[in-house]
A and B are shown apart, each in its own frame.
Chain A
Amino acid sequence: MKILVCISHVPDTTSKINFVDNSTKFDTTGVQFIIGPYDDYALARAIELKEATPGTTVTAINVGLSDTEPTIRKALAIGADDAIRVNADPSDSFFVATQIAEHAKGFDLVLMGRESIDYNSGVVHAMVGEILGLPSISPVMKLDIEGTNVKMTVEIEGGKEQVEAKLPLVAGCQEPIAEWKIPNMRGIMSARTKPLKVVEPKATQPTAVIQKFELPAPKGAVKMISADNVAELVTKLKNEAKVL
């Protein structure tokens, strides 16, 4: 079985978000970049499937400029066999989906996080599925394969669904589909020599273009209320905050 895992290169979850160049660019000063946490779940499940069935290969793919290569190498260190970098700025979901679809033919299973934590669109899996005519399912909490039949648990508002579909398919992953894998020393060493192919993007017209970024208004200081006077909180929530 050939598995394609799509990973995003994103600021880590503790990063302060700031913009420069008149709020048109993300400020990367001091920011650590990681594999998107939801993509980490996808990658971990892919490696589990690979370890369970000999002959299974895992390819990592990322749409990004050369600064994403250290992140791609992390995916190789975790256990992907090879990687592809589509040399382009991941400008919007449809662009990213178009690039992934170009390279996804021939794979039995395409996995990725349910969304990337920078732009939170959560639709690349659905768009890849639509472009390739494959079923897409997200967010998948559990994924098991029997032959060509895939059984999944999908989270819905207030509960979950059991969904079934046939390979090949595309899945957007989240917890608790697998435990995040930490690369070991051997993985890190081998990541340096595993193949990382760089390809040029398929030309496509931009459909959604970011003009500018904005930050939310800063919050005021917290108002502390004594545990002996809880009724005061209720009064403030009613009259001051007007949320009761």
Chain B
Amino acid sequence: MSTLVFIEVSEGKVRKSSLEAVCYAKAMGSPVTAIVLGPADATELQSLGKYGAQKVLHASDAKLAKGVIQAYSAVLTKAMQDENADVLVLANSSLGTPVAAKVAVKTGASFASNVVELPTTSSGFVVKRSIYTGKAFSLVELKNPKKVIAIKKNAAEVKESVGSAEVVSYPVSLTDADFNTTILSSEKATGDILLPEAEIVVSGGRGLKGPEHWGVLEELAKTLHAATGCSKPVSDMGWRPHHEHVGQTGVKVAPQLYIAIGISGAIQHLAGVNSSKCIVVINKDADAPFFKAADYGIIGDAFDVVPKLTAAIKAANS
């Protein structure tokens, strides 16, 4: 009996969120088999052994280069059967989560997404889920023998040790029905740190007065190796790209540090940041509601405070 882990590859590298999934599966106890779809570098795959994978199935068929959900679900379902795996673990993502759900339906597995901790098994197989957009948790018993678990960021600690996984070629046979959607093109900011995976996020709101003023924020983000985010009004006005919108109907982030600049802190924005370990708020309005949700706060003009903060960090790092 093994646990199957779906690994997402982006720009040739294994995504950090998938390393968490391997570590989660390893901590569950059974042997871990990882599976990668589409072209990927063999050394990258072998290194999955450092995180706990014993074996990596590589379905390198060129047709799988694009993340077509139906095709991916078909391959993972067959792999679960071939590997005699009762559990599939993967990281929540725009690709992983729907694939996981379809595999659950195909295999008759119990499904849970947004899982934040390892399962407990003292009274049934129970996982803890994040609900109400981070404002609460539910303890859910997965009743069926097979389980599909999609984990939220920070559900497992990424622990690197020594080891090299055996990479095995996994041939697939796909039909036209597996390609019921066509990905025509994709535009992605390359090289940037993905918001949902970022450990530090620097985020800006209307207080920055216009897109032309984002320089001070970008400079701070660069100094911190941080991803950049923004509030809904800023995204709606087109000052920043839509994928930077953090909030109730935008991206939910879970960084170690969230620095909010010129954002008042409407409840809808807070719903996107409540999984942050530490929140810093910089706003010239002392009554900004965000200060109530912050760990640290500075009342001041962003254009004065943020460059000073960037300079102080550079000084501390030198």
Contacts and interface: CB of A to CB of B under 8 A. Distances in A.
Given A37-B248, A207-B143, A222-B291, A156 B95 contact: yes
A244 B257 contact: yes
A136 B243 CA distance: 21
B96 to A, nearest CB: 10
A130 interface: yes
Interface string B182-198: 11111111001011110
A182 interface: no
Interface stretch (A76-84, A102-110, A121-129, A184-192): A121-129
A222 B298 contact: no
Contacts of A145: none
Given A117-B133, A161-B183, A224-B299, A210 B267 contact: no
A141 interface: yes
Give the size range of B's interface with the partner.
35 or more
Contacts of A216: 134-137, 274
A94 B257 CA distance: 35
A223 B298 CA distance: 9
A163 to B, nearest CB: 5
Contacts of B95: 156
Contact of B267 (A14, A119, A157, A174): A14
A139 interface: yes
Nearest to A136: B98
A197 interface: no
Interface stretch (B25-33, B41-49, B164-172, B300-308): B300-308
Contacts of B267: 13-14
Contacts of A13: 248, 267-268, 271
Would you call the interface of chain A mostly helix, strand, loop, or mixed? mixed
A243 B257 contact: yes
Contacts of A165: 180-182
Contacts of B126: 211
B130 interface: yes
Nearest to A235: B316
A224 B298 contact: yes
B40 interface: no
B54 interface: no
Contact of B295 (A121, A210, A241): A241
3 pairs of A and B residues whose beta carbons are closest in the complex: A227-B300, A159-B188, A123-B101
30 contacts: A11-B132, A19-B136, A121-B112, A122-B98, A126-B102, A131-B105, A138-B98, A158-B189, A159-B243, A161-B186, A162-B184, A164-B181, A207-B143, A207-B144, A208-B141, A208-B142, A210-B138, A212-B139, A214-B128, A215-B137, A219-B293, A219-B295, A222-B292, A222-B294, A226-B298, A227-B304, A230-B308, A236-B296, A241-B277, A243-B256
Given A117-B248, A161-B183, A214-B136, 17 more contacts: A14-B267, A17-B136, A117-B132, A120-B133, A126-B98, A126-B102, A127-B104, A159-B189, A176-B242, A210-B138, A216-B134, A227-B301, A233-B296, A234-B312, A236-B296, A243-B200, A243-B277
